[in-house]
Amino acid sequence: MPGSLPPLVEPAAELSKEEVQRYSRHLIIPDVGVDGQKRLKNAKVLVVGAGGLGSPALLYLAAAGIGTLGIVDFDVVDESNLQRQVIHGQSDIGKPKAVSAKESVAEINPLITVNLHETALDSSNALDIFADYDLILDGTDNFATRYLVNDAAVLLGKPYVWGSIFRFEGQVSVFWEDAPNGQGLNYRDLYPEPPPPGMVPSCAEGGVLGVLCASIGSIMVTEAIKLLTGIGEPLLGRLMVYDALDMTYRTIKIRKDPETKPIEGLIDYDAFCGVVSADAQTAAADSTITVRDLKDKFDQGDDFALIDVREPHEYEIVKIEGSTLIPKDRILSGEAFAELPQDKPIVLHCKSGARSAEALAALHKAGFKDAVHVGGGVLAWAAQIDTSLPQY
């Protein structure tokens, strides 16, 4: 156990009368007290992502009195966000998430400064954006951005709190390569390599229990407050895993991986993580049709097999009439090949196109050379062709 670390920031000069009243429940905790609250006032925290984890994190960081909050997000609020992204409301649909988040934060605490970074975080801007902050809180949902956040934090010597959620499970840890007493770790010590493309479903593909975001987001804020004020034992060197169905919290020790190479600069993280595999990219390059092409096939009475490679519970939510469900894993394993017609063209689709591209590569290798897939999947079909269908 690392024990307490020195406080990350110096205390501000003073607290105003209004701040004393606002933060009184912090001030009467001996471990926090006036000194701890002054450190929070002086702290600058950057939250990457104003989505599932960023929502509760931003609300509670603001309420806690973090003097300067930065928000990185370039997405807009969508109705499907509201099941878990509680910083946004019905009237925010269509609004930039960063702007919506800032407005909610201002309602909670008008005494703090909020900086918006309405941009896609990438290798060209991460170091500049991170430079002004004491601590980074990473609430992103894809591996490319997680590795980018990690590497930028390492290069700048900054600690960051990382969280991850999927269905009913969440994970949290603290990474800080330059931590005192040789305790330094970074995300690559836990995950040296990204998983193969398509192996780990995103929340958009696999789902997430909305309230899980609150559980994990609040733990992330707790860790941030501990680091900023120098109280308690942070999750540095420990991975905390929460299972909502079993209602269990367990911690796993993380050790420095001697094989982890030093980070010397930022790279192309989409290429590093291979958002879709090289085989899928090759297969899709000249075998992708649009949803309009698919509609033309139906309208012309073409004889073809439309195969939906999503999961059964997704097929129940929405489906394209005339499609047959064969989940992707059964195609990748070869188990479903016998069920596929040999005498007519095969058209694959999934939710948005990534999984069907992986399945397409498997079919091409198995000799189904004429198989194609639908770019944009059922989401594009519902948006462009049959708008009576729901999107999910």
Residue 57 counted as domain residue? yes
- Identify the pLDDT of residue 2: 52
Query: Among 203, 294, 309, 362, which one carries the catalytic annotation?
Result: 203
pLDDT band at 275 (very low <50, low <70, confident <90, very high): low
CA atoms of 217 and 202, how far apart (whole Å): 18
Structural domain boundaries enclosing 351: 278-384
- Identify the pLDDT of residue 272: 85
Of 273, 297, 323, the one marking the end of a domain is 273
How high is the mean pLDDT of the chain? 94
Query: Among 53, 137, 283, 350, which one carries the catalytic annotation?
Result: 350
CA atoms of 381 and 357, how far apart (whole Å): 17
User: Is 213 one of the catalytic residues?
Assistant: no
The pLDDT tens digits for 77-129 are 999 999 999 999 999 999 999 999 999 999 999 999 999 999 999 999 999 99
**Poorest-confidence range of 189-198, 207-216, 268-277, 280-289?**
268-277
Judgement on whether residues 226 and 246 belong to the same structural domain of the protein: yes
What is the pTM assigned to this prediction?
0.84
| Domains of the chain: total | 2
- Identify the pLDDT of residue 198: 66
**Poorest-confidence range of 59-73, 198-212, 282-296?**
198-212
Judgement on whether residues 255 and 295 belong to the same structural domain of the protein: no
Which residue is associated with the tokens 């991170």?
130
Judgement on whether residues 300 and 366 belong to the same structural domain of the protein: yes
